[in-house]
Structure 1
Amino acid sequence: MAFRDLAMAMVYFSQTLIGTVGNVLLLYHCSCLHFTKSKLRPTDLILKHLLVANSLVILFRGVPETMAAFGLKDFLSDLGCKLVLYVHRVGRGVSIGSTCLLSVFQVITISPRNSRWTDLKLTAPEYVSIISILCWILHMLLNTIVLMYVTDRRCHKNITYRKEFEYCSTIRQQKSRTILHAALLFLPDALCVGLMLWTSSSMISILYRHKLRMQHVRKTNFTQRSSPETKATKTIILLVSTFVCFYSLSSIFQALFTLYNNPDRFLVNVAAVVTGGYPTVSPFLLIKHFPCISNLTDCVRNKKTYNVKRIMQLS
């Protein structure tokens, strides 16, 4: 095995391991809140969908890339290739949608009472679950297109135009059909990115106006401490900024893949790392927002206490 392949294999493996651990920790936190009967916020539900989607992106992209970098080339069948890329695309789409929903919900939450979001403050939490489920359904339907042009490398069909990757290949279709499929997959992402940029600018504006008002308050406990809503808003702005950076880089690489029939292996490797960048980094950006993560022993203790109480009630 060449040193370059070994280095990329270690990068894939490290990214997959770190991202999986981060997402599992946050999922454990959400489960801890559920078992201890703590009051769940609408953002907790959104984060559950985000973390599950991130885990799918990491596992269904990182694991095959790691295996291919270690020298296993044709380890997926035609069905396996379709399943891996389909689940990866669905997870990626839901991850984008969940991040967008999180930013929209937060700007509604922190908006002033006399703003145009006043009516939505009461009704928005009721629709979080429905919107999250619709997001999964939408991307599951849209990404059925992926099943049409993905195949394994061992396919013996007479296919003239085909892009070869390490463990799968894609079939080049007619130009008009390719443009239509690309538009169907790109429009939801573009809409979500646009909403995230708009909500982020709105949240920054709200926080800035709030800071100006607080400058006129003489009490130090109001000027030195930030409210939980302000901390959560800053975390979400950082999360959205990170996503936009990784998404922009990923879009550039996708455009390069469209231009070149057989893209260089280095571009494929970098694109794979960039694709897994946001799902890997995002849980660690959110960890400060969850005190239970920084002190898992308290979470375990609360869960054991709840289990003991349940046993005593049943007995």
Structure 2
Amino acid sequence: MPSEEFVRGMLYLSLTVVGVPGNIAVILAFLLLLYQEKLLLPADAIVLHLACANLLVVGVRCLLETLASFHLADIFGDVGCKAVIFIYRTSRSLSIWLTFVLSAYQSLSFAPPGSRWATIRAMVAHYLGFVFLFLWLLTTNMSVAAILFSFSTQNDSSLINHGINVQFCYVHFPSKLSKQANGAAQVTRDVVPMALMTVASLIILVLLYKHSRQVKGIRNSNAGSGRSGRAEQRAAKAVVALVTLYVVLYGVDNGLWVYTLTVRRTMTSSLISDLRIFFSSLYAALSPVVIIVSNRKVNGRLRCAVQEKPIQEKTTSLSPT
């Protein structure tokens, strides 16, 4: 096995090992919460949906890239390339927009009761299912080009003009203009929520600072309010951490994507595409770690699930035979 393929396989394997169990753990924790309490708060529902989208990103892209790099499976034919790239782009875009929705919803949580912003937050919570449906439709429609222009590497190389080499597949555009138009649409799709979530995070930081000063005296006199305020701040800080992680990693990803659009060669190097996929998938792999560490509902239920198993085993061993 060439050293380049081995390194690529190990990088994707590291993302798979971290991202797949991490996102599954977050999903199971919220499903357990839903089973126990029969209801999920809107913010919890958004995080659950985000974990599902990130699981698709890591599972469909990184896991399959790992198998292909180590020659354990050959699924990158024409149909496989179209399916993998379409699902990857859809779930990746969905992850981006859900991160924005989470940051925007969290920033609205600081709105005073009865204000216009509090009313908007209530409307978002009420119609959250429609928000999810709209995002699925939006991201799916913006990924249609993957079905039209994705082919396996087994195609005639003479057909690959104005294309993008993604190692096991080619994204072939019929003209330079179509390539640049599709690239501009993808950059816009990423930059718009990036800008919006950055603004929302800055609002959260400003409100956190003001809120901490306003409730300082209340916390000293009311322990219950103090606990509520601290929980609210932890949730807000977790959202800011997710947004910061996103902006850094997807900033690198989009910088590499702009390079592929402006490079003069007709076919960009697979190394650039590998780096893009790695950095964009890194968010999907690391975000569940941030969620597990910062979200008490998640790590509390995971600890209970881990501790419950040894207790059950001990009870079984002490039971009479």
Length-normalised TM-score, structure 2: 0.84
What is the number of equivalent residue pairs in this alignment? 302
- 2:141 maps to what in 1? 141
Q: Which amino acid aligns with 2:180?
A: I
- 1:197 maps to what in 2? 198
Q: Distance in 2 between matches of 1:248 and 1:157?
A: 32
Q: Distance in 2 between matches of 1:270 and 1:178?
A: 19
- 2:283 maps to what in 1? 278
Q: Distance in 1 between matches of 2:64 and 2:111?
A: 44
SS at match of 2:159: coil
| Contact 1:15/1:280 (8 A) holds in 2 | yes
Alpha-carbon shift at residue 112 of structure 1 (Å): 2.7
CA RMSD of aligned residues (A): 2.6
Alpha-carbon shift at residue 294 of structure 1 (Å): 4.2
2:274 is aligned, of 262, 269, 277, to 269
Q: Distance in 2 between matches of 1:160 and 1:243?
A: 32
Task: Identify if the C-alpha distance between structure 1 residues 78 and 293 changes in structure 2 by more than 3 Å, giving closer, same or farther.
Answer: same
Alpha-carbon shift at residue 125 of structure 1 (Å): 0.9
Alpha-carbon shift at residue 59 of structure 1 (Å): 1.5
Q: Deviations over 1:83-116 (max 9, x none)?
A: 0000000000110111111111111112233654
Q: Deviations over 1:222-268 (max 9, x none)?
A: 69865211110010011111111111000011122222434344433
Q: Distance in 1 between matches of 2:3 and 2:275?
A: 16
Task: Identify if the C-alpha distance between structure 1 residues 265 and 89 changes in structure 2 by more than 3 Å, giving closer, same or farther.
Answer: closer
| Contact 2:109/2:121 (8 A) holds in 1 | yes
Q: Distance in 2 between matches of 1:37 and 1:301?
A: 20
Alpha-carbon shift at residue 12 of structure 1 (Å): 1.1
Alpha-carbon shift at residue 157 of structure 1 (Å): 8.0
- 1:312 maps to what in 2? none
Unpaired segments ≥5 residues, structure 1: 303-315
Q: Which amino acid aligns with 2:27?
A: L
Q: Distance in 1 between matches of 2:253 and 2:105?
A: 26
Q: Which amino acid aligns with 1:180?
A: A
Alpha-carbon shift at residue 291 of structure 1 (Å): 3.4
- 1:110 maps to what in 2? 110
Q: Distance in 2 between matches of 1:293 and 1:99?
A: 20
Length-normalised TM-score, structure 1: 0.86
Q: Distance in 2 between matches of 1:110 and 1:78?
A: 49
Same amino acid, percent of matched pairs: 24
Q: Which amino acid aligns with 2:285?
A: T
- Kindly report which structure 2 residues correspond to 1:1-315, keeping only aligned pairs within 5 A, or say none: 1-71=1-71, 75-113=75-113, 115-156=115-156, 159-161=159-161, 162-215=163-216, 219=220, 226-258=229-261, 259=263, 260-287=265-292, 288-296=294-302, 298-299=304-305
Q: Which amino acid aligns with 2:6?
A: L
- 1:310 maps to what in 2? none
Q: Which amino acid aligns with 2:15?
A: Q
Q: Distance in 1 between matches of 2:275 and 2:180?
A: 25
